[in-house]
Amino acid sequence: MTLSASYRHLHEQILLNQELGRRIQALDVPHARSLARLQHWQLQRLDATYQDLRDDPRYLPACEFFLHELYGGRDFVERDRQLMRAAPVMRRFLPDHLLAAVGDAMQLQAVSLQFDLALAELLVAVDPITQPDYARAYRAHGDWAGRERQLVLIRELGELLGETVQRPLVHRLIRLMHGPAVVAGFGMLQVFLRDGLDAFAEMGPADHFLDTISARERAGLEAMRAGSDWPFERWIGQGP
């Protein structure tokens, strides 16, 4: 049977994330601590930047999914291990557009982790991290095209999830898979898929959510590119 482009994309992104997981596990103590500080700072920054969305019950689950589930704040290594084992089953039972959404989620995670590793190297001697520290490291790393691609991925993933929840049979199937998934050793993966779809089902139309993230992240990106040391000041002051 010919492998679909969505399945090939998913498989490639799983392999890339597993390689990144091995790189992270192999970090020495100073670099591991630097990565942990950076990711903690970024989660604080993202939570503060989107506090208005988080204060709205409609958008809070989607914020948690995007900002925490896909940003290295949870045990992605075990989840991705489960995903590798489950992928052949998913290929048989899940529609192509959902495979594409999971592949995009894994790609967004991989891109974010690659940037985190690069910035953590630049910030290894910085503790605590401040907004100017982050902005200077961001400029030193560069790769503005890669950052733009990261924003495009956020948009594409959100639109795919929004499309998927318009097909209630698929959403219901994922929810009903919990018991069998736990028995088969795929429980963490099923929760990941369920949480993403539940978040977008609860939110309804995703345009405001996605527009807000795209606009603020792009504004911060352009401010850093232009030399600002306080690129997020309009939303979070001189924090987090």
How far apart CA 178 and CA 184 sit, in angstroms, is: 10
Task: Check whether 1 has a pLDDT greater than 60.
Answer: no
Which position has the higher pLDDT, 103 or 123?
123
Query: How far is it, in rounded angstroms, from Cα 235 to Cα 32?
Result: 29
219 vs 147: CA distance, rounded Å:
12
Token reading at 160: 């795919």
pLDDT (mean) for 74-78: 69
Q: Which of 62, 17, 97, 38 is nearest to 209 (CA)?
A: 62
Q: How far apart are CA 67 and CA 60, in angstroms?
A: 10
Closest-CA residue to 143 (of 125, 106, 126, 118)? 118
Spatial separation of the C-alpha atoms in residues 94 and 6, rounded to whole Å: 11
Q: Which residues of 38-70 are buried (b: 16+ CB within 10 A; e: fewer)?
A: bbebbbebbbebbeebbeeeebbbbbebbbebb
- 3-class state of residue 231 by DSSP: coil
Task: Record the pTM.
Answer: 0.89
Distance CA 98, CA 207 (A): 19
Average pLDDT over the chain reads 88
Phi then psi for residue 227, to 5 deg, are 105, 5
The pLDDT value given to residue 57? 95
Percentage of residues of the chain with pLDDT beyond 90: 50
Lowest-confidence range among 11-15, 60-64, 72-76? 72-76
- Please indicate whether residue 91 or residue 55 has the higher confidence score (pLDDT): 55
Using pLDDT thresholds of 50, 70 and 90, give the confidence band for residue 71: low
Over the stretch 156-190, which tens digit does the pLDDT of each residue have? 888 888 888 888 777 777 777 777 777 667 777 78
Residue 194 has a pLDDT of 86
Q: What is the pLDDT of residue 174?
A: 79
pLDDT confidence tier of residue 74, bands split at 50, 70 and 90: low
pLDDT at 72 over 60: no
3-state class of 130 per DSSP?
Answer: coil
